[in-house]
Amino acid sequence: MAEIGMAWTARGAWTGIAAAGAFGTPHDGVRVQLREGLGIASLIAGQEQEPALERALDSRYGLSLPRGPSAVSSASHTLLWSGPGQWLLLAASSAGFAEDCAGLAGLAAVAEQSDGRAVLSLSGAMVRQTLAKGCMVDLHPRAFPVGTTALTSIAYVNIQLWRAEDGPEGAVYEIMVPRSMAGSFWSWFSASAAEFGCAITVSRD
């Protein structure tokens, strides 16, 4: 008898923390896109499972299983290395993602994390200078080319970072933060980006 008729609306990980707009000096040195509504799942495969998993991911999404710290993307999905024998599967939309996960169930330990992560897309002329204020990983293009990912921490928040295809203003970095710490992460980010000026947009599905 669940017809008490309450609408179960999902709340985005950035809701109440950041919204479209701008802050800091009027330069837009940094651009942020708050990425809501992604499908995210962790896949852990034992050695014996890897070949089958690799075939499945290739046939379904045309993605090959990264064996080192890199990210591969199709139009709809991204596959991130997230530790030895572990990956994160990202879908641009959470719609139908449950089926994605179900389909891989036998091939790896699958655990959905769509609601457990808050994701940002960062770009702009000063994006590297901003990240340098907390990121302990070398992001120089020689050291961190397109398609590289890193698990690290920023301001005591464990994050996963990866470099997507370049945008109009050059490098684009995606950052994934634990949902419960999105607010603290944002506090660091806004303090760090303010001197360059920052414009915020939101993307849903």
Residues at the interface with other proteins (CB under 8 A): 1-2, 4, 6-13, 15-16, 24-25, 42, 44, 46, 68-69, 82-84, 86, 98, 108-109, 111-117, 132-138, 140, 142-143, 150-153, 155-158, 178-181, 183-185, 187-188, 191-192, 194-195
Beta bridge partners of residue 45, listed in sequence order: none
Give the separation between CA 183 and CA 186, rounded to whole angstroms.
5
CB 82 to other proteins: min, Å: 7
Give the separation between CA 173 and CA 150, rounded to whole angstroms.
11
CB 164 to other proteins: min, Å: 19
- Is 74 or 183 the residue whose CB approaches other proteins more closely? 183
The encoded tokens of residue 89 equal 């599967």
DSSP state of 107: G
DSSP state of 194: G
Q: How far is CA 14 from each of CA 11, 157, 200, 202, rounded to the nearest angstrom? A: 8, 16, 12, 9
- Is 10 or 19 the residue whose CB approaches other proteins more closely? 10
- Is 147 or 183 the residue whose CB approaches other proteins more closely? 183
The residue among 125, 126, 132 whose CA lies nearest residue 188 is 132
Beta strand 198-204 pairing with 170-178: unpaired
- Is 52 or 132 the residue whose CB approaches other proteins more closely? 132
CB 91 to other proteins: min, Å: 15
For residue 36, the one-letter residue type is: E
- Is 120 or 135 the residue whose CB approaches other proteins more closely? 135
- Is 77 or 197 the residue whose CB approaches other proteins more closely? 197
Q: How far is CA 119 from each of CA 15, 95, 114, rounded to the nearest angstrom? A: 12, 17, 10
CB 202 to other proteins: min, Å: 15
- Report the b/e string of 154-191 with b at 16+ CB within 10 A: bbebebbbbbbeeeeeebbbbbbbbeebbeebbeebbe
CB 51 to other proteins: min, Å: 16
CB 74 to other proteins: min, Å: 24
